[in-house]
Amino acid sequence: MWLLQLLAVAVTVHAAYWMEEIAHQGRSSFNPDPNYRVFRNVKDYGAVGDGVTDDTGAINRAIQDGNRCGGDSPCVGSTVTPAVVYLPAGTYKISSSIIDYYYTQLIGDPTNMPVIKGTPDFSPGTLCLVEADRYTNAGYLQFGSTNVFFRQIRNIIFDTTDVQIGACGIHWPSSQATSIQNCVFKLSSRPNDVHVGIFMEEGSGGFLNDLVFYGGLYGVQFGNQQYTVRNLTFVGSRTAVKQLWNWGWTYKSLNIIGCDVGIDMANSNVGGVTLLDSTFTNVNRAIITDRNPANDTGQGSFVMENVRFENVPTVFGGPDGTVYLAGSGDGVGNWYVPQGPYAYFGSQPLVFPRPPVLVQGNRFYERSKPQYEDVPASKFLSARTFGAVGDGITDDTKALNTLFLMGALRYNEGVVVFLDAGYYKVSDTVNILSNIRIVGEGMSSVILGAGSKFSDINNPRAVLQIGSPGQLAYVEISDIFVSTQGGTAGAILIEYNVRTPASSPPSGLWDAHVRVGGFAGSQLQVAQCPKTPNVATVPNPDCIAAYMSFHITRTAGNLYVENSWIWVADHDIEDANNTQINVYAGRGLLVESASGGIWLVATSVEHHTLYQYQLVNTRDIWMGQIQTETPYYQPNPPAPAPFSAVNVALSDPDFASVCQGSDNTFTIPWTPTGSPACGMAWGLRVLNSHNVVIFGAGLYSFFNNYDTRCSTRTAGEQCQSRIFWADDNMGVVYNLDTIGSVNMVSRSSVDLARWAENFATFASTVAVLWL
């Protein structure tokens, strides 16, 4: 007993965070410089962190090192210069902005969070303490906001309290596979100061979690197509959240305390806000809308479920002080605006009952990406130390299989498998056999399936197989990518079979991404897979690069997935003009889990040929905010090409029979007067599934054969006829928004909602659908 206690003390006295201490062997496999360093500790670049020294230059040098994409270079995107910029504990004074580069993670020590503090004479020149995407002298964002991928900020306190007049913490135009996690913002509330924690004006995101904001004129200003934010606390901000615009936005677990205004969504460019599991305490006006109650469009849709108000005089009101819903002391609210005529309730009561397996306490279950604060560096099992090469050339199949076996055998010792940054090329399936914890580095730890075993379109095979069918296990995986190289028409990138016992927390995948094509080393770039809109396209077999991206199989269950981007490239990231490409992948995310208990938090699936999300014979699924895009090349060729065989075992849609009707118009090229095409991928297809609860869904179809004219209101939103299929008794969808589809949701042989009656912003929006 005594001895154990002494040991515990000895361990906690000094052990720096593992990320600081571990051997730094991460590499960028496809960077021509063999000495390119992924990991950088700002102290190695001269940062002092003593609260006195000006560390601006040192931190920026740590970011810039290695001829990276950013700064004055014309680079608009690159996957070959990833970086982890690490800040040990300390207070780092800065007198002008930290300029973030493409593909950067800024990570502080979570056991003793570093502070980045603006000096009183902070000269922005740009806008914020951290400029994730700065404005160039020409007045444009350096990186197109919808192409700002692969970046994170974690474990940092941003302090603007010394800065006079105007200041902000992070400027964050952002898109998929980005996040800000576990940060604190200390903002001035002096009467003449305009301080903002996060300023985000554009993008296609995205995910934020575990943030705390103190003070400020605005805690945050948010404008983006769609986003999921979870677990944000605002204390004493004038307005906690200023919603500048959106198509759809999901707020889960907000705590708004002592603010004048909670969420100000009074802007006609706001499509929909979904708010759940939140509290407002001592707030004068919780939600402000400018939606005219007589408005019969979908603009300004608002859904609120399980929100608690304490000392809130106005729950829902207009900017002029009109009160639509007054507070009444302490209450829990559920409310939907608009309430008709296209909100579809059937004969059900207003609130869809929460499936008990998805709930913990009084909230839907949520859990943040583990950072292993309490695991010493000695417990991390490095892939590279273990003999995996990770150079994008060597076959690492055996090395990874042995590594994952070792990680499973030593799981009970508290071992975490560390996949150092690098491309681990594999010629056959890599298996995870039992309980395991795996973490990647720099958003650049990639398992790259290549070769003949993955190339047979009639014999699909998993690249990463997590558990064998029926296996009971517990897994935690974060910050990894699974990809393919060249023609791999038989590749299933992730096959997830694990069933985690209900007695255990769910298994978790955080920032586990699928990326098919469009990156250096993929052999699926402009040179190999150019787009061909001007001819009838015959798909190049070497550009068919996945059979399915992610399969959650029948035996799988009890799984939490957060911030996962399942992407088939629509453009080549390395190309100076982000030129579009034709890369084909059959199926997106297929969920067949019979037992269910699946959370898909902030996930998006894009550009697969048959469907993005498909749920079959499953139940108890939480999804929110999901986002999809139809392939840009369709209908040239029309779906299902190049996947001609219908796989009945996987419940593939049968386009040949579906498109027999009057919609059978594979119009090539698109003409303004033509009918919408039918040979287009489903955004979401739900078959024989129940208790599916969707808090925010954006299903988009912007193109017909690379032409965007079909996705405008004047053209009649007719890129495709249907985008969302739901069988009977599926569950509920809050704030569905669609673009470019004539019908927003279809069930049996009935189209339930059309875009025209529900137009909102650029998208059409329906607040509530009981399906």
Ligand X SMILES: *[C@@H]1O[C@H](CO)[C@@H](O)[C@H](O)[C@H]1NC(C)=O
Residues forming contacts to ligand X in the complex (CB under 6 A) are 182, 210, 212, 231, 268, 292, 294-295, 297, 299, 366, 368, 576-577
Residue with smaller CB distance to ligand X, 473 or 601: 601
Q: Is 203 exposed, middle or buried (0-12, 13-18, 19+ CB in 10 A)?
A: buried
- Residue 641: C-alpha distances to residues 64, 65, 638 (Å): 44, 44, 6
Backbone angles phi, psi at 192, to 5 degrees: -95, 0
Write down the least CB distance from residue 295 to ligand X, Å. 4
Minimum distance of ligand X from residue 272's CB (angstroms) = 12
525 and 531 Cβ atoms separated by less than 8 Å = no
Query: Measured from the CB of residue 237, what is the shortest distance to ligand X in angstroms?
Result: 16
DSSP state at residue 677: B
Distance CA 279, CA 10 (A): 41
578 versus 704: smaller Cβ distance to ligand X = 578
Shortest Cβ 268–ligand X spacing (Å): 4
Distance in angstroms (rounded) separating the CA atoms of residues 574 and 666: 32
The Cα 343–Cα 115 span in angstroms is: 47
Give 294 or 750: the residue with its C-beta nearer to ligand X.
294
Question: Helix or strand or coil: residue 41?
Answer: strand
> Cis peptide leading into 642, omega within 30 of 0?
yes
∠ CA 421-422-426 to the nearest 5 degrees?
135
- The distance of closest approach from Cβ of residue 576 to ligand X in the complex, given in angstroms and rounded to an integer, is 4
d(CA 173, CA 606): 20
Q: List Cβ<8 Å contacts ≥24 apart for 710-715.
A: 710/670, 710/676, 710/740, 711/739, 711/740, 713/759, 715/672
Complex with ligand X: residue 225 or 630, whichever CB lies closer: 225
Spatial separation of the C-alpha atoms in residues 457 and 522, rounded to whole Å = 18
φ and ψ at residue 60, rounded to 5 degrees = -65, -35
CB 641, min distance to ligand X, A: 28
DSSP code for 410: T
Distance CA 207, CA 154 (A): 12
Q: How far is the CB of 182 from ligand X (least distance, A)?
A: 5
Cβ atoms of 302 and 316 closer than 8 Å: yes
DSSP 3-state assignment of 445?
Answer: strand
Cβ contacts of 203 within 8 Å, gap of 6 or more? 145, 146, 148, 172, 173, 174, 175, 224, 225
Instruction: Give the nearer residue to ligand X in terms of CB position, either 178 or 231.
Output: 231
Query: Cβ 350 to ligand X, closest distance in Å?
Result: 24
Strands 314-317 and 285-288: parallel
Q: In the complex with ligand X, which residue's Cβ is closer, 183 or 732?
A: 183
Which one, of 460, 462, 463, lies nearest residue 490 by Cα?
A: 460
Q: Residue 358 carries which DSSP code?
A: G
Is-cis flag, bond preceding 293, omega within 30?
no
| Nearer residue to ligand X within complex by CB, 183 or 598 | 183
Residues with Cβ within 8 Å of residue 185, at least 6 apart in sequence: 157, 158, 160, 169, 197, 198, 211, 212, 213, 214, 216, 219
Q: How far is the CB of 313 from ligand X (least distance, A)?
A: 26
For ligand X, which is the closer residue by CB, 339 or 729? 339
540 vs 579, beta carbon nearer ligand X? 579
What value, to the nearest 5°, has the Cα angle with vertex 605 and ends 603 and 607? Answer: 160
Q: Residue 184 Cβ, how far from ligand X at the closest point, in Å?
A: 8
CB of 211 to ligand X, least distance (A): 7
- Is 277 or 396 the residue whose CB approaches ligand X more closely? 277
Of 52 and 294, the one with the shorter C-beta distance to ligand X is 294
Q: How far is the CB of 270 from ligand X (least distance, A)?
A: 9
φ/ψ (deg, to 5) at 21: -90, -25
In terms of CB distance, is 126 or 368 closer to ligand X?
Answer: 368
Alpha-carbon 660 to chain mean position: 36
C-alpha to C-alpha distance for 82 and 524, rounded to whole angstroms: 20
Closest CB to ligand X among residues 100, 366 = 366
Three-state DSSP string of 701-760? CCCECCEHHHHCCCCCCCCEEECEEECCCCEEEEEEEEECEEEEEEECCEEEEECHHHEC
CB of 368 to ligand X, least distance (A): 5
Instruction: Give least dist CB 37 to ligand X, A.
Output: 27
CB of 364 to ligand X, least distance (A): 11
β-strand partners of 600: 561, 623
| Nearest alpha-carbon partner for 488 in 549, 543, 426, 565 | 543
Nearer to ligand X, 63 or 212 (CB): 212
For 290, 338, 384, the CA distances from 294, given in Å and listed in that order, are 11, 9, 63
Q: Which CB sits closer to ligand X, 126 or 268?
A: 268
Tokens representing 199 are 């300023």
In one-letter notation, the amino acid at residue 711 is: S
Please, what is the minimum distance in Å from the beta carbon of residue 60 to ligand X? Answer: 27
Q: Distance between CA 636 and CA 621 in Å, rounded?
A: 34
Of 268 and 394, the one with the shorter C-beta distance to ligand X is 268
Minimum Å gap between C-beta 475 and ligand X is: 19
User: Nearer to ligand X by C-beta: 294 or 535?
Assistant: 294
